[in-house]
Amino acid sequence: MKKSEGFTILETLSAFTLMIIISLFTLPLLTELRATQKDLQIEREAITLLHNEFFEHRVRNGPLPYTANHLLTHEITLVIQPEEEWITGCSLWKNHRNENKEFCLHDKRE
């Protein structure tokens, strides 16, 4: 029998099987990572929007309570209301799992 200089079919199949197994384990992780990135982008948009609206509302001394709906990549609801000696501004939205999320800012009343 002469000496073989290439890969055998068994070596090729085992390498291909190993690649398939690694791919099957990493694909769901990559999908979850992509969804989490989208959620973080929505959260950044909601926080930035709340910060800008809250600051402008405080500078203009707008009426309280104040509610506004914004549609960027998702619907974001802003609520600014008085609470004793504080003014609270909250941003409300839903993530890709349809869970309610909230972020609030507080400022001392003048």
Residue 64 belongs to some domain of the structure: yes
Is position 3 within any domain? no
Q: Is residue 4 part of a domain?
A: no
Q: Residue 29 has which token pair?
A: 């992780």
Q: Looking at residue 103, what is its pLDDT?
A: 96
What pLDDT score does 37 carry? 95
Give the mean model confidence (pLDDT) for residues 84-109. 92
Q: What is the pLDDT of residue 3?
A: 67
Q: What is the pLDDT of residue 99?
A: 93
- Answer yes or no: is 2 within a domain: no
Give domain status of residue 82, yes or no: yes
1, pLDDT greater than 60 = no
pTM of the model as a whole: 0.75
Of 62, 68, 59, 61, give the one whose Cα is nearest residue 90.
68
pLDDT at 101 over 70: yes
> What tokens does 8 get?
């055998």
Domain housing 86: 10-108
Residue 66 lies inside a defined structural domain of this protein? yes
How many domains, in total, are found in the chain?
A: 1
CA-to-CA dists, residue 35 to 11, 41, 45, 47, 60, angstroms: 37, 10, 16, 19, 38
Q: What are phi and psi of 52, to 5 degrees?
A: -65, -45
User: Is residue 1 in some structural domain?
Assistant: no
Is the model's pLDDT at 104 over the cut of 90? Answer: yes
In this predicted model, what pLDDT tens digit does every residue of 39-78 receive, in sequence order?
Answer: 999 999 999 999 999 888 888 888 889 999 999 888 999 9
